[in-house]
């Protein structure tokens, strides 16, 4: 491969919760690397999706949705979003065509004013609006920042995503291929497995439980070249939440396990035996040591 013209770099995705950052990342990378749920704050770490071709490699940093922190976990998420913006070659500011510009957007725009790298405005979910409304939606943001480009897209259907990717590649500096071609995320498999289990908890028990759930994958053991044995604890803060996740006669936990197992098998390409337990750890979100245990690592703790 001729490396002299190879483009590579880091691109941050930022936006209010639920504007479709994870959907975008999954569409571009072609596999499920960021968990998707319409419950706010589902993405807690800077999950990186890696897009590689023979002429470029884009490493996407999927920052947590910006919101006001209410716990130590909230503080961690906020810091992790803002620090990501200083480490990248370009920023995609993603907004939803279905929502008006709000205070959350103003907060992000204010932070982006200090960013020296090119910032692209990406208006997602255009498949959900009347095309005639697009100019009005775009006008809400047009003068907010000197955007390097404005791209209306549908991350779900892929509309207009390729021109955006081509423009990003054009913007990136010449550089090495940082990751092997077949690698789609820099997180260890264990982290992605935990995220997949957590996604199913969100999906199936969204009323009372979501924000107080962490997943601790305690072991991933390969039995032979086709079978993997995985054990994980689902961590909640209150006994009532444990009851909800286990469900009547263990039915809910079984359902979570079955759905997560199918996703994990797709990720690993192996048959998976998944064992799940539910543990109550009061106030885990406010205990720094526990945040570290459950994968939220930060130099500030």
The domain segmentation of the chain, as residue ranges, is 3-171, 189-293
Q: Among 112-121, 176-185, 261-270, which range has the highest average pLDDT?
A: 112-121
The reported pLDDT for the residue numbered 284 is 72
Residue 221 pLDDT exceeds 50: yes
If one compares 106 and 47, the residue with the highest pLDDT of the two is 106
Tell me the CATH number for domain 3-171: 3.40.50.300
Q: Tell me the Ramachandran region of residue 117: left when phi exceeds 0, alpha when psi lies from -120 to 50, beta otherwise.
A: beta
pLDDT digits (tens, 9 = 90+) for 130-173: 999 999 999 999 889 999 999 999 999 999 999 999 999 999 99
Residues annotated within the binding site are 15-22, 62-66, 124-127
185-207 residues labelled b (16+ CB within 10 A) or e (exposed): bbbeebbbbbbbbbbbbbbbbee
Provide the pLDDT for residue 75.
58
Distance CA 53, CA 86 (A): 25
The residue-averaged pLDDT of 248-277 equals 90
Rounded-to-integer distance, Cα 98 and Cα 80, Å: 27
Is the model more confident about 264 or about 210? 264
pLDDT of the residue at 83:
61
- Domain 189-293 sits in CATH 3.40.50.1000: no
Residues whose CB is less than 8 angstroms from the CB of residue 218 and which lie 6 or more positions away in sequence, other chains included: 231, 232, 233
User: pLDDT at residue 42 above 50?
Assistant: no
Distance (Å, whole) CA 11 – CA 61: 6
pLDDT, mean over the chain: 81
| pLDDT for residue 39 | 46
Annotated binding site for GTP: 15-22, 62-66, 124-127
Average pLDDT over residues 235-260: 92
Residues 248-260: pLDDT tens digits? 999 999 999 999 9
Over 60: is that where the pLDDT of 80 sits?
A: no
Of 89 and 34, the one with more pLDDT: 89
pLDDT number for residue 31: 65
C-beta of residue 121 within 8 angstroms of C-beta of residue 151 = yes
Share of the chain above pLDDT 90, in %: 37
pLDDT classification of 43: cutoffs 50, 70, 90? very low
Q: Is 192 in contact with 29 (CB distance < 8 Å)?
A: no
């Amino acid at each position: 491969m001729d490396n002299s013209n190879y483009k590579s770099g880091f691109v941050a995705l930022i936006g209010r919760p639920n504007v479709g950052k994870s959907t975008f990342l999954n569409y571009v990378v072609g596999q499920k690397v960021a968990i998707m749920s319409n419950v706010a704050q589902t993405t807690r770490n800077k999950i990186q999706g890696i897009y590689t071709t023979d002429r470029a490699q884009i490493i996407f940093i999927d920052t947590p949705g910006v919101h006001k922190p209410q716990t130590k976990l909230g503080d961690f998420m906020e810091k992790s979003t803002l620090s990501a913006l200083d480490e990248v070659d370009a920023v995609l500011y993603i907004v939803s065509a279905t929502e008006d510009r709000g205070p959350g957007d103003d907060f992000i725009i204010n932070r982006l004013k200090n960013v020296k790298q090119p910032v692209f405005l990406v208006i997602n979910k255009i498949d959900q609006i009347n095309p005639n409304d697009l100019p009005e939606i775009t006008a809400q943001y047009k003068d907010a920042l000197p955007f390097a480009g404005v791209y209306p897209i549908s991350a779900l259907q892929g509309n207009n995503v390729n021109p955006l990717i081509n423009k990003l590649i054009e913007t990136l500096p010449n550089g090495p291929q940082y990751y092997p071609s077949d690698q789609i995320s820099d997180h260890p498999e264990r982290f992605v497995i935990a995220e997949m289990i957590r996604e199913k908890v969100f999906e199936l028990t969204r009323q009372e439980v979501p924000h107080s759930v962490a997943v601790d994958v305690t072991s991933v053991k390969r039995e032979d070249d086709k079978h993997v044995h995985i054990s994980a604890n689902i961590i909640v803060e209150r006994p009532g939440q444990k009851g909800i996740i286990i469900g009547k006669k263990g039915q809910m936990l079984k359902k979570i396990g079955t759905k997560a197992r199918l996703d994990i098998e797709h990720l690993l390409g192996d048959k998976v035996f998944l064992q799940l337990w539910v543990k109550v750890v009061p106030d885990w979100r406010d205990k720094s040591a526990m945040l570290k245990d459950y994968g939220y690592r930060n130099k500030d703790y």
